[in-house]
Amino acid sequence: MIDVNSDVGEITQLLEDGTYYQIMDYITSINIACGGHAGDYNFMKAMIRMGIEKNVNIGAHPSYPDKENFGRKIMVMEPPDIMETVMKQIEDLFEIAAAEKTALHHVKPHGALYNQAAKSSTIAQAIGLAVKQIDPQLTIVGLSDSIMIDTWEDMGLNVTGEAFADRNYEADGSLRDRKFDNALITNPAQAAKQAKMITNDGKIISVDGNTISINAQTICIHSDTPNALAIAKAVKNIGY
Per-residue confidence (pLDDT) for residue 238, from 0 to 100: 82
Cα–Cα dist 68/5, whole Å: 25
Query: What pLDDT, in 10s, does the model give residues 21-39?
Result: 999 999 999 999 999 999 9
β-bridge mates for residue 31, sequence order: 7, 59
What's the whole-model pTM score? 0.96
Query: Would you say 7 and 61 are in contact if contact means Cβ atoms under 8 Å apart?
Result: yes
**Fold that domain 3-237 belongs to in CATH:** TIM Barrel (3.20.20)
Dump pLDDT digits (tens) for 96-116. 999 999 999 999 999 999 999
> What stretch of H or E contains 158?
strand 158-164
- CA–CA dist 19, 238 (Å, integer): 21
The pLDDT of residue 1 is 77
What's the Cα-to-Cα distance from 231 to each of 104, 170, 188, rounded to whole Å? 26, 21, 4
Domain boundaries, given as residue ranges, for the chain: 3-237
pLDDT (tens, 9 = 90+) of the chain, 240 residues, equals: 799 999 999 999 999 999 999 999 999 999 999 999 999 999 999 999 999 999 999 999 999 999 999 999 999 999 999 999 999 999 999 999 999 999 999 999 999 999 999 999 999 999 999 999 999 999 999 999 999 999 999 999 999 999 999 999 999 999 999 999 999 999 999 999 999 999 999 999 999 999 999 999 999 999 999 999 999 999 998 864
H/E stretch holding 216: none
Q: What is the pLDDT of residue 99?
A: 98
